[in-house]
Amino acid sequence: MQACLRALTSSASGLALNVGSGVSQTVLEVASAMAKATGRPHISAEISGKYRVGDIRHCFADISLASRVLEYRPGVKLARGLEELSEWLRTQIAVDRVDEARAQLSSRGLTL
């Protein structure tokens, strides 16, 4: 939210700014942290080895421009952000569509 508020009151108009921690994390690390934040540390991520055609395999937010233009500094660590997300998720109704999504990607030839 800090970055959004700063962008609204700055000269950042027209710029594409990345907002994030600036720290690389694997999907497995994020999944593990999410399991812990939701009180389900026993759940482990399923690694299928498949990916969507065109997916970027290694990437993280380069926040250097946002740091310069907005004087943005990450203010919430991943674990705390996931705890806040988990609190919100408790108020939502989940519908599991993982199998349906996998089937659709596969039927369109979008996974390898």
* All domains of the chain in start order, with CATH: 2-107 (3.90.25.10)
Beta strands in the chain (DSSP E): none
> Where are any strands of DSSP class E within 12-82?
none
Considering the entire predicted model, what is its pTM? Answer: 0.67
Q: 52 near 110, Cβ under 8 Å?
A: yes
pLDDT of residue 88: 94
pLDDT tens series, the chain, 112 aa: 788 888 888 888 889 999 988 888 888 999 999 999 999 999 988 888 888 778 888 888 899 999 999 999 998 888 999 999 999 999 999 899 999 998 998 899 888 7
Distance CA 75, CA 46 (A): 30
Q: Residue 45 has what pLDDT?
A: 87
pLDDT computed for residue 14 by the predictor: 87
> What are the Cα distances from residue 96, in Å, to 5, 58, 68, 101?
34, 27, 41, 10
Please give the distance of CA 91 from its chain centroid, rounded to a whole number. 20
- The residue assigned the tokens 């482990």 is 44
Alpha helices in 9-97 (DSSP H): 27-37, 64-70, 78-89
pLDDT at 93: 94
Tokens 């939210």, located at residue: 1
Between helix 27-37 and helix 78-89 the angle, nearest 10°, is 50
Contact 34, 82 (CB under 8 A): yes
